[in-house]
Amino acid sequence: MLLNKHLTHLFSRLRNGEHVEFGTSIVDNIKAFIIAVALLLEIWNKYEALVEQENLLFRISAESYESHLIAAADKERDRLFNEIKRELKFHHNSPDAAIKQAAFEILFVLKPYEHASKKNLFEETKFIQNFLIAINKPALAGFIALLPSIGAMLQRLATVNTNLYDLYQQRLLALEALEKMGKAVDIRKEVDAAFIDIIDQINIIHGYNEMTAKDAAIKTNLENAANYISGLLHQTERVLSRRDHHHKPATDEPSTPPATPPTDPTTPPTDPQAPDNTLPEAPDTPPQQPNITIPPINPDDLNPPAAGE
């Protein structure tokens, strides 16, 4: 027997990241030897595809940080939007008639969207986008020019709103892929089973070659692959042994249960201390508006998915 499978029991003790790293190391280091042996191609292709699937699943799981990025972006968007409203209200009380009029004109356009930050993530994104489209008209460019800080915040709001939309779309795609792929534990079992099949096939083909064809190239490729696999398994065993020894609890000390991971909120919580954003009354007919660069978003994509989708 060229390879012994007894160390494959270690796979169940590997963390998800370690398991992914093991499979990736196998693919990166023995592929050239394996594909040179035609009889191994079918099982190898299956194993390589499963390792790639596990890699993707692990990346998606690791990228749950997108939820935190979404929450942070939504908080920044609310801050900007509320700051714009506060500053416009301040300028609306300016003794300078031109400044006062500029603030009034912009507030009038903003009024239908003043409660955007109280909407859910989908609706708020659409509200802000519609507001930015409304404000981005030539008739308002002169008013915004009189309030340069407002212009800068509007540009920043456009960027943050689009970035948040992109993050959420990425998260939806990741969750969709996750649902299609199944659970990490199931894929790990498939990866391990395929790896053990490779070990079995290497042993069988090597033995058959020794008894019949005695092909030197096959022998060399199989032994190179086997040597790497054996070395990696023994290295994994040593790493796990050291880790187990290092983390061995004291005899009389009670074990501490693992901390419950934080939940992944779909919609970031609203700020209970949000300022009063009531705006001054405005005329019935809105004016036209300025030149803020708005990254493109398809408004149809912003509609929330139906329940169960």
The span from the CA of 279 to the CA of 88, in Å, is 9
Q: How many domains does the chain have?
A: 2
Residues 14 and 40 in one domain: yes
Express each pLDDT in 131-144 by its tens digit.
999 998 999 999 99
Q: What pLDDT sits at residue 61?
A: 65
Residues 145 and 74 in one domain: yes
Residue 55 domain flag: yes
Express each pLDDT in 205-254 by its tens digit.
999 999 999 999 999 999 999 999 999 999 999 989 988 776 555 444 44
Kindly report the number of other CB atoms within 10 A of residue 33's CB atom.
20
Residues 122 and 22 in one domain: no
Residue 41 domain flag: yes
pLDDT greater at residue 57 or residue 272: 57
Express each pLDDT in 22-53 by its tens digit.
999 999 999 999 999 999 999 999 999 999 98
Residue 195 domain flag: yes
Q: What pLDDT sits at residue 117?
A: 83
The span from the CA of 283 to the CA of 303, in Å, is 30
Share above pLDDT 90 across residues of the chain, in percent, rounded to a whole number? 51
Residues 169 and 208 in one domain: no
Domain boundary among 200, 223, 244: 244
Write the CB contacts of 14 (distance below 8 Å, at least 6 apart in sequence). Answer: 22, 236, 240
* CA angle centred on 69, ends 77 and 84, rounded to 5°: 10
Share above pLDDT 70 across residues of the chain, in percent, rounded to a whole number? 73
pLDDT greater at residue 168 or residue 261: 168
Instruction: Read off the pLDDT band of 302 (50, 70, 90).
Output: very low
Express each pLDDT in 102-123 by its tens digit.
999 999 999 999 888 888 887 8
**pLDDT of 270 above 70:** no
pTM of the model: 0.47
301 to each of 117, 123, 127, 304, how far by Cα in Å?
19, 11, 13, 8
Taking residues 192-209, what's their average pLDDT?
95
Residues 71 and 219 in one domain: no
Give long-range contacts, CB 8 A cutoff, 24+ apart: 62-68.
62/17, 63/174, 64/264, 66/167, 66/170, 66/171, 66/174, 67/171, 67/264, 67/265
Q: What pLDDT sits at residue 68?
A: 77
Which amino acid would we find at residue 248? Answer: K
Query: Which domain does 20 fall in, by range?
Result: 6-63+181-244
Q: What pLDDT sits at residue 64?
A: 58
Residues 225 and 130 in one domain: no
Residues 189 and 54 in one domain: yes
The span from the CA of 270 to the CA of 274, in Å, is 8
Q: E-assigned strands of 237-295?
A: none
